[in-house]
Amino acid sequence: MFLHRNIRKYTWTSPDGKTHNHIDHILIDRRWHSSILDIRICRGADCDTDRYLVVAKGRERLAVTKQKAQKSDGERFNLRKLNEPEVRIQYQIGITNRFAALENLSDGEDINRAWRNIKENVKTSAKESLGLHELKRHKPWFDEE
C-alpha cells in the first residue's frame, strides 16, 4: 500500500539477523482507512525487544457543524404584499425618504453605526408598509380525548 524499502517493512528480525518478518500490523476501521497517510517502521527506537516500532501518520478529519441561520429578532415581514402595486410604491417611497436623511451624514462616521442606521431604516419601512408575517400555529397532533 505504501511504497518503502524492504528494511522499512520488517517488524521482526530473528536473533541470527538473517530472517525478517512483517508480523505487526495496524488495524483501522474501513470508514477511516483513507485517513492513514503513511505507515513505516522505526528501527532506531530502543524498546528492549526484538520487534521494531510501527508508526502511522494520519490525517484527522473533524465534522463541521452546520451553523443555524441567524434569527432576526423574531420579525418576519409579509413579503407577499410587495406583489400589490400600491404597497410596493408605498414601500419604495418610505425607503427613499429614509435614505435621503442618511445622505447628509459625515463620511467619518463609524461603519458599524452606519450599518445599524441602514438596517433600522429598512426594518422600519418594511414594518410600516408590509406588516409582520403571522406564523401559522399548527394543531397538536394528539387529542386529549
Task: Encode 35-51: b = buried (16+ Cβ within 10 Å), e = exposed.
Answer: eeeebbbeeeeeeeeee
Is the pTM value of this prediction over 0.75? no
pLDDT tens string 30-50: 888 888 898 888 887 777 777
* Phi, psi (degrees; rounded to nearest 5) at 54: -100, 125
C-alpha cell at 145: 380525548
Task: Please give the average pLDDT of every successive group of 10 residues along the chain, which has 145 residues.
Answer: 73 82 83 86 78 87 69 73 88 84 68 83 86 76 65
Q: What is the pLDDT of residue 65?
A: 72
DSSP, res 32: G
